[in-house]
Amino acid sequence: MSTEQHADAVSALAHEMVRHVRLLHVVKTSLSAATPNGLEGAEIALLMQLVKCCPRRQGELAELAMLDPSTVSRYVGQLARRGLVERRPDPADGRAVQLVATERGHDTAHAMIERRNAALRQILAGWSESDLRTFTAMFTRLNDDVDAGRASFTPDAAPSPDAPAGDPSLDAHASDTGPTGVSLKEI
């Protein structure tokens, strides 16, 4: 593949990634009405991390969830008030506190996971198992590479305000609409 072909392929992928993020936003907004206890997205992410990774100190949880520690503190307080998370002394250091998902927190997380998986099963019903496995492997590779490259996304790496306004291919799906009839380009 030539350098130009590679650049075109990367541009096409970037367009689809942006489109995917917008579609996920539409889906998450639609599903938020069905979220138990009126949980916000960041609260769900924190609860899922605690269910998946077991007890964590608040700083560790902030790092895992890629959120600011002060944001995590606020959301953990809300999760604790809802009875989904509790604070326990850290067995390794009695002065420190670990956050633990309660039984109710586990039940809530598992219900949300099942709803998400049911929606994905419906969306992907026409995909073969082979396609799903191939896509999952490639998507995992993409996520791993993006995660590994996060440090290179600094304010210094951002394009200058004088740079061209973006990828003209972003207009390619201007007619795509979400479930509410709103153009995904507008989102």
**pLDDT at res. 163:** 45
Residue ranges for the chain with pLDDT beneath 70:
32-34, 36-37, 154-187
- Please name the amino acid found at residue 44: I
What is the span of the domain harbouring residue 117?
A: 39-152
Structure letter (DSSP) for residue 177: B
In the structure encoding, which two tokens stand for residue 138, read together? Answer: 């490639």
Residue 19 shares a structural domain with residue 43: no
Do 44 and 124 lie in one domain? The reply is yes
**CB atoms near residue 50 (< 10 Å):** 26
How does pLDDT run across 110-148, given as a tens digit for each residue?
998 898 889 899 999 999 999 999 999 999 999 999 989
Taking the C-alpha atoms of residue 57 and residue 185, their distance in angstroms, rounded to an integer, is 40
Among candidate residues 90, 115, 143, the one with its CA nearest the CA of residue 39: 115
Which tokens in the block code for residue 47?
A: 């609860």
Same domain? 84 vs 115: yes
The tally of domains found in the chain comes to 2
Name residue 42's beta-bridge partners.
Answer: none
**Shared domain check, 124 and 138:** yes
Give the integer Cα–Cα distance in Å for 85 and 186.
37
Cβ-based neighbours of 61, under 8 Å, separated by 6 or more: 46, 49, 50, 72, 76, 99
Residue 124 lies in a domain: yes
